[in-house]
């Protein structure tokens, strides 16, 4: 057995006025709880340090850049890294990254138990739009503030296993999991900030949105025989609700633990990486069953093109 005790650290709402230092204190409190429960790895949400700022339309670049981190760790997050090293807990969290050469990414990092960053991922599948949309109840401007990730879907050997990362909307795209699956991934860490309402389909109920969340994570886990850890930022941020539903899914696609609140909440579960082997060696033995000669459209075509009418 190769067991990682995983703590899924759901965060409740972060208001626009909340400082990074205040948020880090909450993250440290969850980390302390995780340590008391024997966790090896703690997983936080997408954009864990701030409110979900892409819901606002901004034209002033200095105002936009104030939501981004220019280095990691920095003064605000140093206490989090120090506590992780003290507790000997690896961690994963998301933040808005501004690179030295001026690029903006929705980013996630993975550390080892010493607090050293061993992996970085930048969100590939950016949802939403880039200009103010008068038809929406609220804005979703990730395409305005972020560039598509440029690092691909890598995996890292750490904590005795093979671990990958994705962010929010990436979870809805099977290519996300498959690219990592083709590298033998055994655990995928996914943070998200997802509105409780669909601004383009206002009649869609919360229950359906949470169903789609579970469906995406469970399908990705099962079809690649990997653990999946999905962690939300939830609750009402400045009047805008985000749903929770943080969960851990086993390699059979079964939910083994799920959050019950929209507040700061910790879920801890022992994840045996050896449980991935059965699926990888049988029904999802890629080397035996994949037929790449028939998959060309997946990488050669972006949009759907129907066949010609006869």
**pLDDT 10s per residue in the chain (310 long)?**
999 999 999 999 999 999 999 999 999 999 999 999 999 999 999 999 999 999 999 999 999 999 999 999 999 999 999 999 999 999 999 999 999 999 999 999 999 999 999 999 999 999 999 999 988 878 999 999 999 999 999 999 999 999 999 999 999 999 999 999 999 999 999 999 999 988 777 778 899 999 999 999 999 999 999 999 999 999 999 999 999 999 999 999 999 999 999 999 999 999 999 999 999 999 999 999 999 999 999 999 999 999 999 8
* Cα 255 to Cα 80: distance, rounded to the nearest angstrom: 29
Q: What is the pLDDT of residue 25?
A: 99
Q: What is the pLDDT of residue 202?
A: 72
The answer to whether residues 47 and 94 touch, using CB atoms and an 8 Å cutoff, is yes
Q: What is the pLDDT of residue 135?
A: 85
pTM: 0.97
Q: Which of 243, 242, 117, 110 is nearest to 165 (CA)?
A: 110
* Cα 259 to Cα 120: distance, rounded to the nearest angstrom: 26
Catalytic residues: 46, 123, 168
Count the helices and strands in the chain (H runs, E runs): 9, 14
Give me 301's structure tokens.
Answer: 């075509």
Q: What is the pLDDT of residue 90?
A: 99
* Cα 219 to Cα 188: distance, rounded to the nearest angstrom: 13
Q: What is the pLDDT of residue 199?
A: 72
Domains and CATH numbers, the chain: 5-298 (3.60.110.10)
Measured at the alpha carbon of residue 15, what is the angle toward residues 129 and 141, in degrees to the nearest 5? 5
Neighbours of 157 (CB within 10 A): 12
* Cα 188 to Cα 68: distance, rounded to the nearest angstrom: 25
Q: Which of 101, 102, 95, 105 is nearest to 73 (CA)?
A: 95
Query: DSSP characters for 15-31?
Result: -TT--HHHHHHHHHHHH
Question: From residue 297, how far is each of 152, 293, 303 by CA, in Å?
Answer: 19, 10, 10
Beta-carbon contacts of residue 22 (< 8 Å; ≥ 6 apart): none
Q: What is the pLDDT of residue 283?
A: 98
């Amino acid at each position: 057995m190769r067991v990682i005790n995983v703590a899924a650290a759901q965060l409740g709402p972060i208001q626009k006025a909340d400082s990074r230092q205040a948020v880090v204190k909450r993250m440290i409190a969850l980390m302390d709880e995780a340590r008391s429960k024997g966790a090896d790895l703690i997983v936080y949400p997408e954009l864990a340090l701030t409110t979900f700022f892409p819901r606002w339309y901004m034209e002033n670049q200095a105002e936009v850049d104030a939501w981004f981190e220019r280095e990691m760790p920095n003064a605000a997050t140093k206490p989090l890294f120090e506590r992780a090293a003290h507790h000997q807990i690896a961690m994963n969290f998301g933040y808005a990254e501004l690179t030295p050469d001026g690029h903006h990414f929705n980013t996630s990092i993975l550390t080892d138990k010493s607090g050293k960053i061993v992996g970085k991922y930048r969100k590939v599948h950016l949802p939403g739009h880039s200009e103010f949309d008068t038809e929406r109840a609220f804005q979703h401007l990730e395409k305005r503030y972020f560039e598509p990730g440029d690092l691909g879907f890598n995996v890292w050997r750490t904590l005795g296993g093979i671990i990958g990362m994705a962010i929010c909307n990436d979870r809805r795209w099977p290519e996300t999991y498959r690219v990592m699956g083709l590298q033998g991934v055994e655990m995928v860490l996914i943070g998200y900030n997802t509105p409780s309402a669909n601004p383009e389909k206002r009649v869609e109920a919360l229950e359906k949105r949470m169903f789609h969340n579970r469906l995406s994570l469970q399908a990705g886990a099962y079809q690649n025989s990997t653990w999946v850890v999905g962690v939300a930022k939830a609750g009402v941020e400045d009047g805008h609700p985000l749903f929770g539903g943080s969960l851990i899914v086993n390699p059979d696609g079964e939910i083994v633990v799920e959050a019950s609140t929209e507040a700061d909440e910790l879920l801890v579960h022992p994840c045996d990486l050896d449980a991935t082997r059965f699926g990888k060696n049988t029904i999802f033995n890629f080397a035996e069953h994949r037929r790449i000669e028939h998959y060309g459209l997946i990488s050669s075509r972006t949009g759907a093109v129907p066949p010609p009418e006869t």
